[in-house]
Amino acid sequence: MNEQVSNPDFISETVWRYFWFPVCTLEEFYAADPSGRGPLKVMLLGETLVIVELDEGIAALGARCCHRSASLALGFVDKGKLRCRYHGWAYNGKGHCVEIPACPDMEIPAVARIPQYETQQAYGLVWVRLDASADTKIPLCPGFTDKNFKAVQIEPYEWQTSAARRLENYVDLAHFPYVHPNTLFDPNIMSVTPP
Ligand code: FES
C-alpha cells in the first residue's frame, strides 16, 4: 500500500468527504431549539455546519454567515428561512441569501450564499455528505427495522483520534481477545473468522 493511502489522516482529508455520515439523531435535532427546527451546530470532518429545518426540509448549511461571518448556530428560523442574528440576512435551504433587511431594494448578489450540503434522514439519524461527486449511499442497517433486533442508542462520546483510526478499530476483530477478553471475545480464541 502506498505511504499516503496507509496514512489514516490522509484518508480523512480526502476520501471521507464522499461518504454519508450521521451528524445527530432526529431526537437531538428536534430538542436543540424550542422551535423544534434548529439550528443545531454539528462538526463533520473538521467542518462546522448547522442543521436546520427550512421551507425545503432539513438542510445542512455552512455555519458562518457570508456577510460578517457571524455564527449561524446563533441564528433562528424565521418564516422557513435561517436568519442571522447580527444583521438579519436570511438564507434558504440551498444556502442562498434571500433577504438583506438593511437593503430591501437592492438586488441580492449571487455570491451572497453559504455552503450547502446534501442531507438525508434514515434510522432516526440525520446524515450529511460533504462531497456529492461520488455515488455513495447511506450504509444499509436492516437490523434497525427488524423486529428480532433491538436498536440501542447510547450517548455520544469523543475519541481523541482521527475518523479513520476510529473506524479501523471498530472493524478490527483481531484485537478483541487482548483488549476485551471475557467480555466481547473468548480469550482462548485468537483466530478471526471474517464475518
Ligand atoms: Fe450575518 Fe451580518 S453577519 S447578517
Report the candidate in 56, 57, 53 with the shortest Cα–Cα distance to residue 38: 53
- Could you give the percent of the chain with pLDDT greater than 70? 93
pLDDT digits (tens, 9 = 90+) for 21-38: 999 999 999 999 999 999
Q: What is the mean pLDDT of residues 137-164?
A: 87
Residue type, 37: R
Reported as type and span, the H/E element at residue 164 is: helix 163-170
Q: How confident is the model at residue 11 (pLDDT cuts 50, 70, 90)?
A: low
Dist. CA 86 → ligand 1 center (Å)? 5
Q: What CA–CA distance (Å, rounded) separates 38 from 129? A: 19
Does ligand 1 lie within 6 Å of residue 63's CB atom? no
Ligand 1 atom at shortest distance from the alpha carbon of 72: 1
What is each CA distance from 6 to 9, 13, 160, in whole angstroms?
Answer: 9, 13, 19
pLDDT band at 154 (very low <50, low <70, confident <90, very high): confident
- Quick: pLDDT tens for 40-67: 999 998 899 999 999 999 999 999 999 9
Is the CB of 84 inside a 6 Å radius of any atom of ligand 1?
A: yes
| Ramachandran angles phi, psi of 170, nearest 5° | -65, -30
Residue with CA at minimum distance from ligand 1 atom 2: 87
Q: In the numeric block, which cell numbers belong to residue 152?
A: 440501542
φ/ψ of residue 165, rounded to 5: -65, -40
d(CA 62, CA 78): 18
Q: Which residue has the cell 484485537?
A: 175
